[in-house]
Amino acid sequence: MEWYEPEVQELEKLNTTAPPPAGAVLFYGSSSLRLWTTLSEDMAPWPVVNRAFGGSTLAACVHFFDRLVVPCAPGSIVLYAGDNDLGDGRAPDDVVRSLRAMLARIDATLGPIPVAYISIKPSLARWSLREKILRFNNAARALMEQRSSGYYVDLYTSMLDADGRPRAELFDADGLHLSAMGYQVWTHMLRPYVAMLAGARQEQ
């Protein structure tokens, strides 16, 4: 976990130099969220906070949760992680255990707040892992559906073409990270969930 430290420490500083509004919708996870530079504008008028960090695995997200998420006091969380775990060779069942650990950590520190989990995307760079990705996504869906105020956001299907392959225009040159058009798809899919999460926060 040591190599994450420089970026984690920079994010920690934001909690003191530019503290986010308590009760906001917090986005947490890996580079697909970290590189979303227009997130606040794309989710307006709902207040969102981005605490994602590059290359993060679900295991790393659990590890740094108390440092990066808890001080923000979010009202709800949108989570995208697990992609890098599978890319690193971890088995789907092992990554599911990390997702369970994440949800348990949220409940233990923040209470049973609403959580939306974004499915692992079908990237060009990791298309060879698609069977593992689908196995994990199916397990993640079941896990989120069991949770009170838990939501599974299926972005996998939305990113496939008519032949069932990843839409190349949704990805950057590396075939892994999203292009501007990719973020447009994510915006379209996620805005209804963010509106719901913000509403659920207000009702608590």
Counting Cβ atoms within 10 Å, is residue 88 exposed (0-12), middle (13-18) or buried (19+)? exposed
Separation of alpha carbons 193 and 150, rounded Å: 11
Q: What is the DSSP string of the chain?
A: -GGGHHHHHHHHHHHHHSPPPTTPEEEEESHHHHT-TTHHHHHTTS-EEE---TT--HHHHHHTHHHHTGGG--SEEEEE-SHHHHHTT--HHHHHHHHHHHHHHHHHHH-S--EEEEPPP--STTGGGHHHHHHHHHHHHHHHHHSTTEEEE--TGGGB-TTSSB-GGGB-TTSSSB-HHHHHHHHHHHHHHHHHHHHHHHH-
Q: Which of 3-17, 95-109, 114-128 has the lowest mean pLDDT?
A: 3-17
Please give the CATH topology (third level) of the domain spanning 2-203. Rossmann fold (3.40.50)
Percent of the chain with pLDDT over 90: 92
**Residue 3 confidence (pLDDT) above 80:** no
* 200 — pLDDT class (breaks 50, 70, 90): low
pLDDT of residue 15: 87
The predicted structure's pLDDT at residue 12: 94
Give me the pLDDT at residue 204, please.
Answer: 44
As a whole number, the mean pLDDT across the chain is 95
Region 14-40: what's the mean pLDDT? 94
DSSP state of 2: G
What is the residue extent of each domain of the chain?
2-203
Tell me what the mean pLDDT of segment 150-171 comes to: 97
Alpha helices in 51-179 (DSSP H): 58-63, 65-68, 83-87, 92-110, 130-146
* pLDDT at 104 (0 to 100): 97
pLDDT over 80 at 126, yes or no: yes
* 27 pLDDT higher than 60: yes
**Is residue 203 predicted with pLDDT exceeding 80?**
no
Give per-residue pLDDT as tens, 55-72: 999 999 999 999 999 999
In sign, the C-alpha dihedral spanning 160, 163, 164, 167 is negative
Calculate mean pLDDT across residues 101-129.
97
